[in-house]
């Protein structure tokens, strides 16, 4: 008696079901992996762009002659231009203003950068940006430390001109959200010492 070599209908159906199941699992792994790669690439791009924008802000602070006003959402300073044409002394000073604007209806936030009375330029455009971006500390004397001085938080609501003159540390925190991805970068910047008032040429920032 010859053995039956053909597949039965049940065996064919089981094989088809297993093929579909394995194919579905492979597809899910591939789709999940692609999503993770795209998500990682997007996050990396946002962080890299944020670092470049932070470099612009820190360069302005480091080249500044005076901080004119500072709130958690706005920074206004008088700074030396660090690009051609280079000029000497106060003739190269420009007033730079950073201002956060949020539009909750359109779910959009912009960090504007304005030079003198020129047209505001969007430095950062995103879905959301944390408003507490700028903080400052001024150097004052004290008997409670060995060094004889202490960094006091600058009270932006008072905008005291005497305190502003001795601001020795500015903290910048950029926390943005773009298409569901959040990136955060924070740094501390030391302006030129208030005592020296000498321009430091060609400052470069690398974190």
pLDDT tens by residue, 77-111: 998 876 665 555 566 789 999 999 988 776 889 99
In sequence order, what are the beta bridge partners of 102?
Answer: 109
Residue with the larger pLDDT of the pair 45 and 178: 178
What percentage of the chain carries pLDDT values higher than 90? 32
Interval 156-167 mean pLDDT: 79
Q: What is the pLDDT of residue 203?
A: 43
Q: Are 52 and 192 in contact (CB under 8 A)?
A: no
Q: Are 205 and 68 in contact (CB under 8 A)?
A: no
> Count of domains in the chain?
1
Residue 67 in domain: yes
Residue 184 in domain: yes
pTM: 0.69
Residue with the larger pLDDT of the pair 13 and 123: 123
Alpha-carbon distance 83 to 92, whole Å?
Answer: 10
Q: What is the pLDDT of residues 117-137, one digit of tens each?
A: 889 999 999 999 998 899 999
Longest CA–CA separation in the chain, Å: 109
- Tell me what percent of the chain is helix, strand and coil, each rounded to the nearest 5: 30, 35, 35
Q: Which domain holds residue 60?
A: 9-189
pLDDT band at 187 (very low <50, low <70, confident <90, very high): very high
Residue 17 in domain: yes
Residue 197 in domain: no
Q: Where are the alpha helices (DSSP H) in the chain?
A: 9-62, 161-165
Averaged confidence pLDDT in the chain = 79
Residue 91 in domain: yes
């Amino acid at each position: 008696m010859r053995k039956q070599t053909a597949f039965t209908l049940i065996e064919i159906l089981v094989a088809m079901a297993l093929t579909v199941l394995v194919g579905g699992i492979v597809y899910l792994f591939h789709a999940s992996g692609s999503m993770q790669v795209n998500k990682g690439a997007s996050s990396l791009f946002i962080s890299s762009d944020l670092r470049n924008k932070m470099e612009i802000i820190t360069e302005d602070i480091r080249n500044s002659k005076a901080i004119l006003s500072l709130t958690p959402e706005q920074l206004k300073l008088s700074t030396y231009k660090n690009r051609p044409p280079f000029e000497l002394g106060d003739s190269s000073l420009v007033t730079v203003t950073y201002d956060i604007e949020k539009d909750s209806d359109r779910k959009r936030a912009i960090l504007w950068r304005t030079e003198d009375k020129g047209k505001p330029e969007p430095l950062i455009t995103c879905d959301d940006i944390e408003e507490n971006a700028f903080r400052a500390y001024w150097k004052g004397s004290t008997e409670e430390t060995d060094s004889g001085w202490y960094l006091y938080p600058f009270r932006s609501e008072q905008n005291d001109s005497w305190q502003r003159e001795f601001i020795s540390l500015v903290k910048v925190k950029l926390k943005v959200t773009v298409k569901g991805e959040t990136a955060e970068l924070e740094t501390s910047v030391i302006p030129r010492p208030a005592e020296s008032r000498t321009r430091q040429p060609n400052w470069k920032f690398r974190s």
